[in-house]
Amino acid sequence: MSRSSICFTLATLTLFFLSLAVADVVVLTEDSFEKEVGQDRGALVEFYAPWCGHCKKLAPEYEKLGASFKKSKSVLIGKVDCDEHKGVCSKYGVSGYPTIQWFPKGSLEPKKYEGARTAIALIEYVNLEGGTNVKIAAVPSSVVVLNSDNFDDIVLDDKKDVLVEFYAPWCGHCKSLAPTYESVAAAFKNEEDVVIANLDADNHKDLAEKYGVSGYPTLKFFPKNNKGGEDYEVGRDLDSFVSFINEKCGTSRDGKGQLTSNAGLIAELESLVKEFVSAGNDEKKALYAKIEEEVGKLTGSSARYGKIYVKAAKSCLSKGGDYAKNEIQRLERILAKSISPSKADEFTLKKNILSAFAA
């Protein structure tokens, strides 16, 4: 199998395991709708469009609803992307977004939900219609909540790169940004030196004024080397946030939080590794010493990655030329399994660096 085919397979498997991890709200499609809805449990279904502002505003509340009914066997909380599955939405008379409908147990005749679009109101409605007694569940957040007591300790820490959203609870644009901002925080939660945070600026006006905040949401980036703060003026979609943080913080993550194929690679070592790979045994030993020397000059995360280079070179010396290729194949088999995010990071870094030795 080619390397591109292996990468595609791994990406597919990764998406599969990620889909299992976020199954609190069931994603319904043309093929699965009537297999899930109208069966042996009631179902509340949101018909939405990805571009819809009201849908984005509803998203965090609907996620809380899904989390609350996660363990329920008598109620399904689902959603349909009407841009992707127009046939389903048309069949059930959906003409605006979001439309929320209740499907009783064993029925495909829906009742339109007309209540408030908050998690509490939705839970009360589902409990009434479904005969359940579920309480609202707290949805874990990866966004660090700032206040006057912890702001300086977190934001002004010169060992951290910190992105801060100054928001107001009543602000519509802030509510629309919330699900995307949560996704950004989740994507970088395993980066020890990166913090995605927010501050209720309406409740902490002194801090907002100190940093020149006059509108909401205002996003400011506080890198390790500039704790005066820099305005974030790029796009407010997930890809823009991810690209910005990768560029500014030297990280290599995608929107799902997975390390990219460039993660861990150190440009300063690449020419030495190329020489090492093509050299004879005696020359390899001298080049190994040079790699060790260069790694000793590195600092921060580069120093950690450098140690992987040294270990890889040492293993290639002792185990032969096929070591890197064989070890990459072993790591790919492990990565195809369901493993913890920290282990996935560890093995991906090693695989990326070994790829330079297998080239």
Could you confirm whether 7 is annotated as catalytic? no
Q: What radius of gyration, in Å, describes the C-alpha atoms of the chain? A: 25
Could you confirm whether 89 is annotated as catalytic? no
What DSSP letter does each residue of 338-357 carry, written as one string? ---HHHHHHHHHHHHHHHHH
What is the bridge-based pairing of β-strands 144-146 and 194-200? Answer: parallel
Could you confirm whether 82 is annotated as catalytic? no
Q: Are 134 and 68 in contact (CB under 8 A)?
A: yes
Q: Which amino acid is at 352?
A: N
What are phi and psi for residue 56, nearest 5 degrees? -65, -40
Q: Are 315 and 323 in contact (CB under 8 A)?
A: yes
Q: How many CB atoms lie within 10 A of CB 30?
A: 13
- Ramachandran class of 99: left when φ > 0, alpha when ψ lies in -120 to 50, beta otherwise: beta
The catalytically annotated residue of 82, 174, 249, 316 is: 174
Q: What six digits make up the tokens of 208?
A: 């907002």
- Secondary structure E strands in 186-267: 194-200, 218-222, 230-231
Which residues are CB-neighbours of 149 under 8 A, at least 6 positions away?
none
- Secondary structure E strands in 96-178: 99-103, 111-112, 144-146, 161-167
- In total, the chain counts a number of residues equal to 359
Q: What six digits make up the tokens of 314?
A: 């040492």
The catalytically annotated residue of 55, 82, 89, 249 is: 55
Strand partners, 196: 163
Q: Which of 41, 31, 44 is nearest to 88 (CA)?
A: 31
Q: 3-state SS string over 300-335?
A: HHHHHHHHHHHHHHHHHHHHCCCHHHHHHHHHHHHH
Scanning the structure block, which residue is given the tokens 């096929």? 322
What positions carry a catalytic annotation?
A: 52, 55, 171, 174
